[in-house]
Structure 1
Amino acid sequence: MDEWSGLDAEEYIASIRAGAIDPRGRTADELEEELAAYDRDWAERLARLSDAEVEQVIAGRMEVPPLPGTVPAAERPESVRRQEALAGRIRAIEQRRARLEAEHREVLAAELQHLRDAGGDVGMAVKESASILAAELRLSDRAMERRLVEAWTTVTDLPAAHASHKAGRITGTHLRAIEQATEALRTDPAVDPADRARVEAELVEIAERVTPSQLRSRARRIVDRAMAEPLQRRHDRAVEQRRAWVEDHDDGVSTLSLSGPSVTIHGAFNRTTDAARGKPKDDPRTFDQYRFDALMETLLTGQTPDDLHRINPISATVTITIPATELLKQTDDEDEPQLRFSGALEGGALVDAATVRALASETITWERLFLHPVTGVPVAVDTYKPNRAMRRWLQRRDGRCRWPGCTNRVSRADADHTIAHADGGPTSIRNLAHLCRRHHLMKHATAWTVRQLDQGVLEWTSPTGKIYLDEPEPAGPAFVDRGVDIWDLTSDQPARCTASDPPWAHLKDCTCDLTGAAR
């Protein structure tokens, strides 16, 4: 990389580590990696020269030739260099913005801490300070007071997340996702402070390499494991608050919102989605419009003619991952060892144990999915229909579109051949991954490339040459912390249940999950 020529690289990297921002948004660690690669490149290029050629280089009569097969930066396509420069510039701006937001937060937090330390009527002192700031910034004093409290709470309760945001390693959206995900954990006095700090550190580590949407999905399980109160009890209390409400907007439009059990809400939404999939090709309405109309017909009339929105013949389908150990339990005895994770819907919403067993008792068709005991990633499946088994296995492994940063659900994605079938790519789980329609098209129409590594990891290379790894997210829990002997999931001959056995028979020594289609 020619930009290192004539530059005191170590001094420059030290300045970045001390807080300066690189024009291309690179961190000190990234710069050190680039410098090391630059040194290796130079050493290898010089080693290929003869003594006479080295003398020519020293005398300035010859340039050191590039390594065979490499393209000098100046010779790369202009479009690639422009995109690379744009990405670097935007990244640097994002880092500066994150630093300013963090400094803004620190100033407000310090003001509130000063008022707390001063004693007296702290509440009134905060209101007075907020009113002064609000008048200066043309905000309401209530909004300014809320900002003071939120800033102090973040700096005090989430120091690691705040520090990561200030350093530009996560965005403000990531930070807000961590704040929201940990609110119940931070306000529960029964949770050990060490557990709060551990969860925060784990979420920050994840946030520094995934999108906010992916972070929210994974945060649910991480936070749930640390909560002192079992999910079942929290779920029962939350369900008591179920409600429906309406918000009116301009132009005669309103929003109907529902808050209730996840299984019920997802089942209703999936039912209207299935109806919309049957929309006639000549119907001018969009998918969302058709789904809305189908829902309104059902709510307002109770019954819908089969030929109108096709709601009647459709039964709602909810795909739920259930640990077999949960099905073995007969009660919710709190003296029994508790599995923190009872079940999860497609998309990551947690499901309480009572609902899990209620659905299990009514499910007709079962599919057994074997998960890796450490990572929770699917490794095998057994079923009577091999073609369907492959698709179901891939759906549970991927869980979403596998394009970097995408969280579109796998049920709305295509199973794409990593190496195109026309180019000899096999139809196997090692050459298939789910991509939503948008990214399926982009994979074939742009300069992005992808290859599959071990354990379902996809290595994406952008048009500018940057590499991104997309890893499958755990489909279920890991049982390594339960202190039991774990069946070796690497075996090529997984145990099988007979047709007469219940789905969870003989699983006391396994780490299987059961995926049922609850109808």
Structure 2
Amino acid sequence: MIAAAEAELARTHADAFALAQEQTSRLRDASTREREMPLRSMAAELAVDARVSDRTLQSQLFEAHRTVTQFGASWEAWREGRLSRAHVRVIVDAGADLSDDSVRGAYEAEVLAYAETTSAGRVRPFAEQVAEKHNPKSMQERHDEAVLDRHVWVEDLRDGMSMLGVIGPSVEVHGVHDRLTRQGKAIKAVDRAARREAAERAAAGATPTDAGASFGLDEPGESCGTNGGDKTESAVWFDERTLDQIRTDLLLDMLLTSSPAVDPTGGAVEGGLGAIRAHVQVTVPATTLAGTTTGGAELDGKCAVDPETAKILAGNVPSFDRVFLDPITGAVLAVDRRFVTAEQKRYLVARDIRCRFPGCRRPARDCDMDHREDWALGGKTDVDNVGAFCRRHHAMKQAAGWTVVQEPGGRLRFTAPSGLEYTDDPPPRVVFLPNPPPPGAEPADEVVAPF
């Protein structure tokens, strides 16, 4: 029953994709952007209703259409419960490059017979081998096409952590991993030598001084002293990181500080690519900076940041944007500086956090500040008529017939081309109260905010 329901949903998505293609075919002499709008708008409305990203839904529409129209036998087996969604995804992914209908049919028939007897994980290597056998393109031709899809992405995890992923040519990716491994092993070798030296001095009754390996803690030739104490009496420090931890630290350090070996900017950028530094927007409650609470820091409205990192970042920025919140509701009340343009944008970035189209997570700082009521038609440039829209949804709203009305408190009411309405509110705020003092503790001195 579950398989049948999932298969029918896929067919509904395939029908929606086909309808969007039909709408696109009616456009005459339209630009590339305009020809994308029927599918974008279709995916956007379905995504709002399903509460997922419209990019995700657009990919689902495409995959469903490809499955139903090009791998019909697999879809039928799925609908009848002989295969799961995971099986079908493996079959479609492995056979995606087979463009000839007869070749694809022969591949699908051969894989289906095996897929119905085992797990999806076991089907994948078999399907890839069968696809290789039937594929008329050589490995070199397929690699030349696949390398065009190289990309980097970020996935936010829990507890202030994120994952950086990269898809690129195998030789370069394995080379990066091998270099990091060699560098990590070199650091471990230095640490082992320092441990042996310390053990030998200890056996001889010597006092440890400068032994041990450090990672950016002290200047060369200095041991790891604490609180400005006598370094000759400091304890020996050793590198307790695992090889995985060292590889990660090396990778992040080199990506954030090093310059590319080849810089194609040709001097057009002052200082070259190596002079470009990473920029992120971090929201930190004043109570976290003051040490009276231990949470609340947030990166680009996407993921949490640990308090120590938040304090380090705050200590190295040239200025703050103070955001005043209602202590009860958490609604944004004001930002320190404002005049039309820069200050209003600071307020809107603080209020909206991300693109205001339902389901989109593009940071507001990377978005267009879009007028709800067109400025050319008399709309005012104030925070009650302007908000963050990413370039994708800004263009779609203008070209695909979506209308937006802004209500008090920043709520947006969207009307889709279908006539259905959807609402989007600014991200909710969590207000962190100071931690109560432990029982029996003396009253603490008044805490002064660091700005």
| TM-score, scaled relative to structure 2 | 0.44
Query: Structure 1 length normalisation: TM-score?
Result: 0.39
